[in-house]
Amino acid sequence: MIVKKITEDKINLLAPAKINLFLEVFNKREDGFHNINSLFQAISLYDELEISIIEKPIINLTIKDSSEKLPIEDNIITKAFNLIQSKFNLKNGINVILTKKIPISAGLGGGSADAATTILACNILFKLGLDYSEMVELSTLIGSDLPFFFSSGQAIVTGRGEILKDMKLPLDYELILVKPSFPIATSKAYGWLKRGLTNSKVPFSLQHCNSPEDLIETLKFSGNDFEEKCFEVFPDLERLKEKLYNKGAKLVRMSGSGPTMFGVFDKTSLVVHPDILERGDWQVFNAKPITLAKLTYNRMGGTRGDH
């Protein structure tokens, strides 16, 4: 997350989207989740949250600029606040104004980013004194992707998503993301994978990737395990992948369980091509990979950024 402004009773933050530069799905665990192995990368596509303290111990949530109708009572932001409220018995509540820019059900982690940002905001505003590991542990009770958003913005993610290894790989490239109009429910995508789970770990190393070219060439040995089944159900996704390659992308992947496809482009050769849209109601975004200040927390709820 990126903290834009803090006052005594209000905080403004940016919650970034993420992409999966590769994604392997392994066995289903006893807790119902799957083990994964993935490279998560934060990108410069953000939701913005303005969160302020209110007198009553409730949450008021207003969602702006979303092209899609989002739930309020069952929203993941509401779940994050309710968890903190029940754990710390807060005397006050929060008013949240969410300016939604990350598309929903897109494989970009927007909801998880918003929930993680809400946890951070409550920690600061209510001076809960949670440190980094406590924030991460709390976030896993809400969703598997949340711990990543407390990281430095680039990490190998394993377990069900709660085990992170921060990385320092090259960031000197551009991205074009295309979000088709149809959603893919994560539960359905995992269901399609039942007979096609990965049996071995990624057979390559990212340790010696010192340039964008090295990283892209190495990532060509990897993939996204969801792609094959999702392409069978939605053939337009495979055609979109081919179109991005034809437009000069060095690497094309589906992010998460889809349906967003992203192309990695050389900074010197990127040209925006509006006609990569298969249909007029598909969304196109330009973005860059970003690093985040890895926030640490003192016992008074203050923050500082560590890189």
In the chain, ranges of CATH 3.30.230.10 domains = 2-166
| Alpha-carbon span 220 to 250, nearest angstrom | 9
**What is the predicted pLDDT for the residue at 197?**
61
Q: What is the pLDDT averaged over residues 19-29?
A: 92
CATH 3.40.50.880 fits 174-287, yes or no: no
- For residue 301, pLDDT beyond 60: no
Beta strand residue intervals within the chain, DSSP E: 2-6, 10-28, 34-54, 59-64, 93-99, 154-158, 163-166, 174-179, 251-254, 261-265, 283-287, 294-297, 303-306
Choose the catalytic residue: 47, 114, 145, 225. Answer: 145
Hey, is 30 helix, strand or coil? coil
Quick one: which H or E segment has residue 73? none
Choose between 67 and 54: higher pLDDT. Answer: 54
CATH class given for the domain over 2-166: alpha beta
Structure tokens at 236: 């337009």
Quick one: which H or E segment has residue 232? helix 227-233
Are the C-beta atoms of 11 and 118 separated by less than 8 Å? no
Specify whether 288 is catalytic. Answer: no
Average pLDDT across the chain, whole number: 88
**What is the predicted pLDDT for the residue at 202?**
52
In the chain, ranges of CATH 3.30.70.890 domains = 174-287
φ, ψ for residue 48 (rounded to 5)? -120, 135
- For residue 304, pLDDT beyond 50: no
Helix axes 110-125, 132-139, angle to 10 degrees: 130
Specify whether 145 is catalytic. Answer: yes
* pLDDT band, very low/low/confident/very high, at 281 (cuts 50, 70, 90): confident
pLDDT digits (tens, 9 = 90+) for 154-197: 999 999 999 999 999 988 899 999 999 998 988 888 888 865 56
Of 1-15, 66-80, 268-282, which gets the smallest average pLDDT?
268-282
- For residue 63, pLDDT beyond 90: yes
Choose the catalytic residue: 18, 229, 243, 250. Answer: 18
| Alpha-carbon span 255 to 122, nearest angstrom | 29
